[in-house]
Amino acid sequence: MSSGKGREAATGELVKQLSEKVSRLVRDELKLASVEMTGKAKTAGKGAGLFGGGGILALYGGGCLVACAVIALTGVLRPWLAALIVGVALIVCAAIAALAGRGEVKKATPPIPSQTADSVKADVEQTKESAHR
């Protein structure tokens, strides 16, 4: 009978260790998810800032193009040509900033912690293998 009590004690100790290890694993996975999501949020913020900058440049470019149209209607060649050149340059800068912003936003999506999800899947598989042994 002493071997039965020893087996129960050993089983109890194993269950306790399993509980502790699962708790530690969950905490570590949550920390990893938090770090990963913080990085993605920073990248999305950078992309949003570039989109905003592109919008402001487009607004100024539009203002220049409106000024260009007004000046062009007056029949004076040189001022409207200067306004046209500045307006087109601002629109080109706005397009470049918008494309760069779109690229940054794409890097941040999907907004799930994919590394953490992969790590959890690997942990589950390893636990299943250990349980089968």
The count of structural domains within the chain is 1
- Of 39, 86, 47, which Cα lies nearest the Cα of 66? 86
Q: What is the pLDDT of residues 2-37, one digit of tens each?
A: 455 666 667 778 888 888 888 888 888 888 888 888
Please give the DSSP secondary-structure letter assigned to residue 109. Answer: -
Structure-block tokens of residue 88: 């087109």
Of the candidates 50, 51, 54, the one whose C-alpha atom is nearest the C-alpha of residue 94 is 54
Look at residue 69 in the predicted model and tell me its pLDDT: 73
Report the pLDDT value the prediction gives residue 88, as an integer from 0 to 100: 86
Question: What local confidence, expressed as pLDDT, does residue 77 receive?
Answer: 63
| pLDDT at position 9 | 66
Integer CA distances (angstroms), 57 to 13, 22, 54, 91, 123, in order: 66, 53, 5, 7, 49
Domain hosting 20: range is: 2-132
* Residue 14 pLDDT: 81
